[in-house]
Amino acid sequence: MIDAAGNIPRVKNNFERQWAESVENGEVQKRFDALKERQKLPLKDKIRESEERIIEWHNAFDGNVGISFSGGVDSTVLTWLARRLYPNIEAVFCNTGLEYPELYQFVKNTPNVHIIKPKMPFGQVLKTYGYPLISKKVARGLSILRNPTSKNQNIYRLYSQGINRFGEPVNGFQVPERWKQTFLKAPFELSDKCCEVMKKEPMRRYTRETGNVQFIGTMASDSKQRQRSWLQHGCNAYDLKNPHSTPLSFWTKQDVLQCLKMFNIPYANVYGDIKQNRETGKLYFTGVQSTGCVFCGFGLHMETQPNRFQRLYYSHPKLWKYCMDTLGLRKIMQYIQDNCPDKCIRNKFKIEPDPEPYKQMSIFKERSQA
């Protein structure tokens, strides 16, 4: 029954209650402080602690473990680390068909990798659910706002007003006005389902079929959601419906690059070489900074030019054309340029780069031939 404030009262579940208690008694703050301290540790100490978490997880499941291997540098370092302790651990790679060809070649050349595939091709995912744009949270929110029902009133209000089912304001959920103006009447859907269909479901299926519980190479510094997951469960999440271990959770991107460089660990050549910025001292890749799905539009609005697709235009022209024309990204980006009220954002969604400045993107091909 809805009360006068429009709430549909429900009792907090165990997870919500425990989290609220942890916030109130200061336990979450203690864990946050502990995370920050771990992130400051030197690499050798991080390696030692990560190895401890790997051993704990391996022993807890009697060796029935596997490595979720994307071919990216994070999972590459994780695989190197785990196999220093247990050389025969199987890695599993989900071939979505959306990877850089250099990445897929690297995966095929890596020993003891089992390759699986999603049940639904990506083109069908786009038609069934919608396009991955802006962020997972915004895409999910817009999907709810575009499709209200009598059963999603609470979640609708969360994304439209930022108020939860208890009538309490919640930060970070209300969809920003500029995205509402741009997408609420768009002739296409947005969705955060692609990762679930293309990667998570196949991995869960693999775990059910093999019994191998996964190591995953994610870090708390990747996103607020992953940070919160570490605050709740630590590296080894035994009590989840789908248990998993994230031994690198307290690492940073700089740690990953330092580890690759220090131990001369092979990695996919689409990243280019590892160089050091003379001014900041930070390490960086000369090629792509991250891999993932080539088509993905999450975070595109936060990039400087050339954006990921402008770079793709020169580095992998066939992939660029496939994304733009076969999968329909050209019409999506053009729609955003025509309809977004924010001029700065509109410019982020340019499709092709200016002719000359970015031909240096051949760096990918140069390193692949080295």
- Three-state SS for 296? coil
d(CA 58, CA 308): 38
Looking at the chain, list the stretches that DSSP marks H as alpha helix, in order from N- to C-terminal side.
Answer: 14-24, 27-39, 43-60, 73-85, 101-109, 122-128, 136-146, 153-161, 177-183, 194-195, 201-210, 224-233, 253-262, 308-315, 317-321, 329-339, 343-348, 363-368
The whole-number pLDDT of residue 364 equals 45
Return per-residue pLDDT of the chain as tens, 370 residues.
445 445 555 666 665 666 566 667 777 788 889 999 999 999 999 999 999 999 999 999 999 999 999 999 999 999 999 999 999 999 999 999 999 999 999 999 999 999 999 999 999 999 999 999 999 999 999 999 999 999 999 999 999 999 988 888 888 899 999 999 999 999 999 999 999 999 999 999 999 999 999 999 999 998 888 888 888 889 999 988 889 999 999 999 999 999 999 999 999 999 999 999 999 999 999 988 888 889 999 999 998 888 889 989 988 999 999 999 999 999 999 999 999 999 989 889 988 776 555 555 544 444 444 4
pTM for the model:
0.86
Yes or no: say if 58 and 86 are a contact pair by the CB < 8 Å rule: yes
What 230-233 contacts at long range (C-beta under 8 Å, 24+ apart), as own/partner pairs, is 230/31, 230/35, 231/28, 231/31, 231/32, 231/35, 232/19
Count of C-beta atoms within a 10 Å radius of residue 154? 16
pLDDT digits (tens, 9 = 90+) for 327-348: 999 999 999 999 999 998 988 9
Sign of the alpha-carbon dihedral angle for 39, 44, 47, 49: negative
Cα-to-chain-centroid distance, residue 305: 21
pLDDT of residue 172: 86
Q: Where in the chain is the domain with CATH 3.40.50.620?
A: 41-124+193-269
**What was the pLDDT predicted at 6?**
55
Can you say how many angstroms the Cα of residue 81 is from the centroid of all Cα atoms in its chain? 21
Span 174-199, pLDDT tens digits: 999 999 999 999 999 999 999 999 99
| CA separation for the pair 294, 358 (Å, rounded) | 18
**Residue 71 CA to its chain's centroid (Å):** 14
151-to-8, 140, 144, 148 alpha-carbon distances in Å: 11, 16, 11, 8
What pLDDT does residue 290 have? Answer: 84
Query: What's the N-to-C CA distance of the chain in angstroms?
Result: 68
pLDDT for residue 65: 97
Task: Specify the pairing of strand 236-237 against strand 244-245.
Answer: antiparallel
Q: What pLDDT is recorded for position 11? A: 63
Whole-number pLDDT of residue 353: 72
Q: In this structure, which amino acid lies at residue 150?
A: S
Amino acid at 109: N
Q: In CATH, which superfamily holds the domain spanning 41-124+193-269?
A: HUPs (3.40.50.620)
Q: How far is CA 71 from CA 22, 82, 197, in A?
A: 36, 15, 19
- Whose tokens are 């700089």? That residue is 254
CB atoms within 10 A of CB 175: 23
Cβ distance 186 to 334 under 8 Å?
no
